[in-house]
Structure 1
Amino acid sequence: MAQATRPTSDVCNSSSDLASSESPVQIKGQTVRILTNEELEKLQRDQILVSHFKQQKLEKEAQKNWDLFYKRNTTKFFKDRHWTTREFEELKACKKFEAQKLVLLEAGCGVGNCIFPLLAEDANIFVYACDFSPRAVEFVKENPLFCSKRCKVFQCDLTSEELQVNIPADSVDVVTLIFVLSAIHPDKMHLSLENIYRVLKPGGIVLFRDYGLYDHAMLRFKSGNKLGENFYVRQDGTRSFFFSRELLVELFTGAGFQSLVNEYVMRETVNKKEGLCVPRVFLQSKFSKPE
């Protein structure tokens, strides 16, 4: 389940994490973004849900819709995520010594925009990488930087297929879950987290980043795209959920994790094409598996 319309940009209801240019200033905190009266009225008006029949069809065709996304966009939609080591110092700090081999799982790897910068930066990282889309997995394997000695990539539905088929239990130091959980139906999110829990070492860490409640992308959805509370469908059939801190902690602790950090990240993104400066809200969190 990769990090999805994804129409054209992040501010157009896409799940691209940072497609437009951004202000370098960001604010982290535990308080949800305060809506304007206009935004509040819009959300209160939008109460009509997509039909049960269509919702079942979207769930059934979820993998096909992701594959079509990658067929249209190939490897050109997302920028490489060079910010991960800056935002998540655990990718370096969890090593006890410089030459230690770090074992990482990128759950929802897309076409490799996170894993290839990490592999290039640190020779002592081995990466397991999986994605819901078989087409995305093939793009990772076709990347010139792909090396089977340093990376094992495979297709996996985190909600129904055991990671332990490809990864030994209790063997992963760090899991990155970046713009992935939001694409999974809320009723199945706990299954993904329980699956991840089983391959993570005791003391291991999950680094999480995804859409936060009242992000601009949430407010841009038009009437008729709502699937449930804070859950929407894009034009291409891919879906997006917007998390509150409270719900995220409930999901992770319910799967056995301990909460270390759980913050909203607020920043402004400039959409030059539309001449807009829009508020972005992400949730950035760290959870550990008890020793």
Structure 2
Amino acid sequence: MSVTGVSDSLGGSSSASSSPQITGVNERTLSPEETEKLGRDQVLVSRFKQEKLEADAQKNWDLFYKRNTTNFFKDRHWTTREFEELKNCREVQGQKLVMLEAGCGVGNCIFPLLEEDLNIFIYACDFSPRAVEFVKKNILYCPERCMAFQCDLTKDDLLDNVPVETVDVVTLIFVLSAIHPDKMQTALEHLYKVLRPGGIVLFRDYGLYDHAMLRFKSGNKLGENFYVRQDGTRSFFFSREYLAALFHKTGFESLVNEYVLRETVNKKEGLCVPRVFLQSKFRKPSLL
């Protein structure tokens, strides 16, 4: 295991602070109380409601951005520290890096990158039309350096907006967890098409037994490690094995696939909560 000190991308109050993160291949150990709680929660949301949640998925995310506008998530200034590929994934010196931010939200990842790296072009797509509009209205949005478009990764063809095998790096940060598990494979297949041979997917998302998973009350479970929030948006919690199987089936090679364990302390409320993320790097095989 190794220890570093980067914050996650979730919104939070200024009264919260985080311990250094620990990375490794072992999942978090549950307390007896947590094990009992998860064991009791076996009742699933009805099939009718699950089908409605799937049908309303885009609407629910659009409403999320209508309520929160650009104020919910923090800017991700940590991405180049955690993912050195955003700086060095160039085949020759001086080459322009072409990136796809899959699930760009309101631009919390892309705009810090555009400010930091002048030799980068970013395709940015999101499920929510409202989120895409927020990106386009940002003062830093420049069509010569960034192209934002609405896209459902589970059914829309990225090739309508991104030329085949032209992307060096795809960032998939807190996005795949919002997609129904039955459709995750399709989303990865679409990403695979636009990545050049040797291109890399940089992944960070909710890990198994994260505090957010343990907070769900009875009646919110959709399936194994899959839950619905009060606002109708959904969240899946990944194990290393589950994620690796998804990417390997699509044709990717694993480079890194580790849990990130940390504790977040809310001083105002006197709470210390365990956070678990999965941080991974997968590569599309190079041509022989």
Residue 26 of structure 1 contacts residue 267 of structure 1 at CA under 8 Å; is this kept in 2? yes
User: Residue 150 of structure 2 aligns with which residue?
Assistant: 155
Q: How far apart are residue 18 of structure 1 and its match?
A: 5.3
TM-score by length of 1: 0.93
Counterpart check, 1:250 vs 2:245: yes
Structure of higher RCO (CA pairs closer than 8 Å, 6+ residues apart): 1
Looking at structure 2, the residues matched to 65 and 108 of structure 1 have their Cα atoms a distance apart, in angstroms, of: 15
**Partners in 2 of 1:136 and 1:31 — Cα distance?**
35
Retained in 1: the 8 A contact 2:18–2:262? Answer: yes
Instruction: Select which of 271, 274, 278 maps to 1:276.
Output: 271
Q: 2:236 aligns with which of 230, 238, 241?
A: 241
Deviation at 1:185, TM superposition (A): 0.1
Match of 1:221 in 2: 216
Residue 24 of structure 1 deviates from its aligned partner by 4.2
Contact 2:252/2:282, CA 8 A, preserved across alignment: yes
- Identity rate, percent: 76
Partner of 1:190: 185
Letter in 2 for 1:19: G
State how 1:93-242 maps to structure 2 within 5 Å.
93-242=88-237
Unpaired segments ≥5 residues, structure 2: 1-7
The whole-number CA distance in structure 2 between the counterparts of 1:274 and 1:230 is 27
| Partner in structure 1 of residue 10 of structure 2 | 17
CA shift, 1:97, in A, is: 4.5
Do the aligned residues in 1 keep the contact of 2:86 with 2:169 (CA within 8 Å)? yes
Rounded to whole Å, the distance in 2 between the matches of 1:16 and 1:63 is 21
Q: Report the Cα distance in structure 1 between the residues aligned to 2:153 and 2:9, rounded to whole angstroms.
A: 20
Deviates most, 86-95 or 108-117 = 86-95
Question: What CA deviation, in whole Å up to 9, does each residue of 1:61-92 have, x standing for no partner?
Answer: 00000000000000011110000001101111
SS of match in other structure, 1:177:
strand
Calculate the TM-score normalised by the size of structure 2.
0.94
Provide Cα deviations, 1:159-178, integer angstroms capped at 9, x if missing partner.
00000000000000000000
Report the Cα distance in structure 2 between the residues aligned to 1:273 and 1:71, rounded to whole angstroms.
28
Let me know the Cα RMSD of the aligned residues. Answer: 1.2
Asked whether the equivalents of residues 11 and 72 of structure 2 are also in contact (C-alpha less than 8 Å), the reply is no
Residues in 1 aligned to 2:140 and 2:155: alpha-carbon distance in whole angstroms: 30
Structure 1 window deviating more from structure 2 (87-96 vs 130-139): it is: 87-96
Partner of 1:7: none
State the alpha-carbon separation in 2 of the partners of residues 244 and 17 from structure 1.
20
**Regions of 4+ moved over 3 Å:** none
Is this contact kept in 2: 1:174–1:205, CA < 8 A? yes
Match for 2:239: what amino acid?
S
Unaligned runs of 5+ in 1: 1-14
Deviation at 1:94, TM superposition (A): 1.2
Tell me the distance in 1 between the aligned counterparts of 2:79 and 2:125. 18
CA distance in 2, matches of 1:145, 1:31: 40
Quote the Cα distance in structure 2 between the aligned partners of 1:243 and 1:250.
11
Match of 1:8 in 2: none
**Distance across 1 between alignment mates of 2:117 and 2:95:** 11
1:12 paired residue number: none
CA distance in 2, matches of 1:72, 1:273: 25
